[in-house]
Chains A and B, each alone.
Chain A
Amino acid sequence: MLEIKNLQASVEGAEILRGIDLTVNPGEIHAIMGPNGSGKSTLAQVLAGHEAYDVTGGTATFRGEDLLDMEAEARAHAGLFLAFQYPVEIAGVANSYFLKAALNSTRKARGEKEIDAVEFLKLVKEKAKLVNIDEKMINRSVNAGFSGGEKKRNEIFQMAVLEPKLAILDETDSGLDIDALQVVANGVNKLKAEDPERSFIVVTHYQRLLNYIVPDYVHVLSGGRIVKSGGKELALELEDKGYSWIEETVGA
């Protein structure tokens, strides 16, 4: 699905990723944990194609294609989805219009027929039900005036409609109360069940989301490198001992 080798990236000359190696196979859930400033969000943004970051070295192959050579929209068309840490408010653009445009761009890029209004509405209802989200959200402007929890739910809803092959969740759990956290986790689990080949990279600062989304692998990012990898028990160990434990062990 995704193979990252020695990925290095910087922003405005400051080196942030210093050689990331990560392989995600179809159907796997990888958690990426790490302290603030370790490069977690940068990794997510670089993979999604944010132009503020300069990739200075390494490779990333997504479903056999050179990911780093693709425009942000082409990455989405290929099946990559980023749930933003800070979803952007776009006043004056209705969620429904936005999502339909996104879906149809992707369909067009894949040589598929564009979805019509009736089919789209049916899909929206179905997916809203699947991820347990109020479908009325579709009539509002994209994230405008949404609470933090609503924005994160909207990300999950968009993910459900766009049906990605690989979804990257960038701190989707931050700032959520336990109810919203469960909605997010439930959405991810439902989408995993819908397509067992679907892969996820869950970027998080805390272990608590991983009580609900059980990862196959846990990686710890520190100083722009993956310093430790393990199974789901690594997350618990981290929660218990804190990030300073990692920094002491690896001497970073």
Chain B
Amino acid sequence: MTTTIDSPFHARVAGLAEQLRGSDDWRAALRLRAAEAFEKTAFPTTKLEDWKYTNVSSIAKATFEADDRAIDDEALEPTAIPDLDAHRIVFVNGTYAPELSTSVGQAGITVASLAGAVEADLQSNLGTQAPPEQTPFVALNTALMNDGVAVHVAKDTKLDKPLHVVFVSAVGSTGVDSHPRALYVLDAGANATVIEDYVSVGGTAPSFTNPVSEAILADNAFLDHYRLLREGANVSHVSYLQGHLARGSNFTTNVLCAGGALVRNNVEVVLDDESCECTLNGLTIGHGTQHVDNQTRIVHAKPHCESYERYRAILDDESEGVFNGKIYVAKDAQKTDAEQANDALLLSRKATMNSKPELEIYADDVKCTHGATVGDLDESSRFYMRARGIDRQEADVMLTMAFAGEVLEHFACEPIRELAAAAIRTRLSDR
């Protein structure tokens, strides 16, 4: 990197390195490595191709304070997802809140706080998929890693209910930052649904959430993963999700972006053996001056794998959407079947979308398709509905729902589909 941004984070991390050198915590070595990596690097600027549309200087320059406040169930209640029957583990400003969490008493399932006692199998996997040297954000997350969730699903075990992991930004009069970590290790034939839910409560001081998640799927494992971004308009969010798929495994990640100020999600999935399947579903509902950037990279390393990618954005007011979908097909990855679609619905003349597919294909017998559209609500459909007696507002809701439905129908978890639909209704009724 040629251009650097002078960031208060650098001073904070430098101070931390000293502490970590003397620590006997099992994560200290990894964190120290991350601190050193972070010190050598700088936040990206818009001069970098991958960051052309997303300017993180407001995050880099801001001063945030770690905040260990506690919140109670009542404060969390407004963020509840109706009809969701799930195990719940809650983190407030990055720290495990046992009083707000339920325990998973199922044989073969481990759900642990990374700050507590963590089994050796989980310890050894942390940082293997998202190494701190990867990017400044991952380095920062790892160096400042305070707590997070570690999940292990044993061989041929199915988690009986979804695991709802709630990361709460509890904001006071000063901005807070949190660096949540999630690690999912699924043994052969294991099956789980995990919902990472990012919400905020309290004040409106500019805040920052910087989560990193790693998902490691052994042969024939199945993981349905959700990322729900429902933070307030004061919270910026930069996330990394790194997935690694072994033979015959199946990984889906569904991202619902319905909150936040500046949002940047980075997803990379490596299909590292034959017969894997990977699905990336994304729905963005943007308004105001929100900026939502979804960067995805799917690596087809081996033959006979399939990937499906569908991202849709509904953008109102002056909101901005960005999508960059990279698909890499290695020379060995014959018979790859990769589909990518990105569609945006602009509800306002001032909303913008930047969409870019990037296909890099080195195998010669593959099927890769991609398509991108940007448009507004169809006037002829609207008139047809009105001519049948449906008023303009309701027609717009129905057409917008239909647009979102093309992605939402692939979200397996019904309460989340309903949550997204409710967010769209709220959005359109506020216009």
Chain A positions near chain B (C-beta within 8 angstroms): 48-51, 71-73, 75-77, 81-82, 84, 87-88, 90-93, 97-99, 101-103, 105-106, 109, 158, 162
**Once the chains are docked, how many angstroms separate the CA of A48 from the CA of B382?**
13
Question: For A76, what are the chain B residues with a Cβ–Cβ distance below 8 Å?
Answer: 386-389
- Asked if residues B386 and A88 are in contact (CB atoms below 8 Å), the reply is no
Cβ contact of B384, chosen from A71, A88, A106, A109, cutoff 8 A: A88
Question: Chain A's nearest CB lies how many Å from the CB of B32?
Answer: 52
- Asked if residues A162 and B389 are in contact (CB atoms below 8 Å), the reply is yes
Nearest 6 A-B pairs (CB), nearest first?
A: A92-B402, A76-B389, A102-B388, A72-B386, A88-B384, A106-B389
Q: Is B53 part of the contact surface with A, judged by Cβ < 8 Å?
A: no
Q: Is B398 part of the contact surface with A, judged by Cβ < 8 Å?
A: yes
Question: For B71, what are the chain A residues with a Cβ–Cβ distance below 8 Å?
Answer: none
Task: Flag B388-417 by CB within 8 Å of A: 1 or 0 each.
Answer: 111110100011011101100000000000
Question: For B391, what are the chain A residues with a Cβ–Cβ distance below 8 Å?
Answer: 71, 73, 105
Q: Is B362 part of the contact surface with A, judged by Cβ < 8 Å?
A: no
Counted as pairs of residues, one from A and one from B, with CB atoms less than 8 Å apart, the total is: 72
Chain B positions near chain A (C-beta within 8 angstroms): 378, 380-381, 383-392, 394, 398-399, 401-403, 405-406
- Asked if residues B389 and A91 are in contact (CB atoms below 8 Å), the reply is no
**Once the chains are docked, how many angstroms separate the CA of A103 from the CA of B389?**
7
- Asked if residues B384 and A105 are in contact (CB atoms below 8 Å), the reply is no
Considering the complex, give the chain B residue whose CB is closest to the CB of A71: B386
Which applies to chain A's interface (DSSP): helix, strand, loop or mixed?
Answer: helix
Cβ contact of A105, chosen from B378, B383, B394, B403, cutoff 8 A: B394
- Asked if residues B381 and A73 are in contact (CB atoms below 8 Å), the reply is no
Q: A71-B392, A88-B378, A101-B390 are in contact. List 15 more A-B contacts (CB 8 A).
A: A49-B387, A72-B386, A73-B390, A84-B384, A92-B406, A93-B399, A93-B402, A98-B390, A101-B394, A102-B385, A105-B390, A105-B394, A106-B389, A158-B388, A162-B388
Question: For A98, what are the chain B residues with a Cβ–Cβ distance below 8 Å?
Answer: 385, 388, 390, 398
Question: Chain A's nearest CB lies how many Å from the CB of B68?
Answer: 46
**Once the chains are docked, how many angstroms separate the CA of A76 from the CA of B387?**
6
Q: Contacts A98-B398, A101-B394, A105-B394: A90 and B389 contacting too (C-beta < 8 A)?
A: no
Q: Contacts A90-B399, A90-B402, A92-B403: A102 and B390 contacting too (C-beta < 8 A)?
A: yes
**Once the chains are docked, how many angstroms separate the CA of A194 from the CA of B66?**
73
Cβ contact of B387, chosen from A72, A101, A109, cutoff 8 A: A72
Question: Chain A's nearest CB lies how many Å from the CB of B388?
Answer: 4
**Once the chains are docked, how many angstroms separate the CA of A87 from the CA of B389?**
15
Q: Contacts A73-B392, A101-B394: A90 and B387 contacting too (C-beta < 8 A)?
A: no
Question: For A158, what are the chain B residues with a Cβ–Cβ distance below 8 Å?
Answer: 388
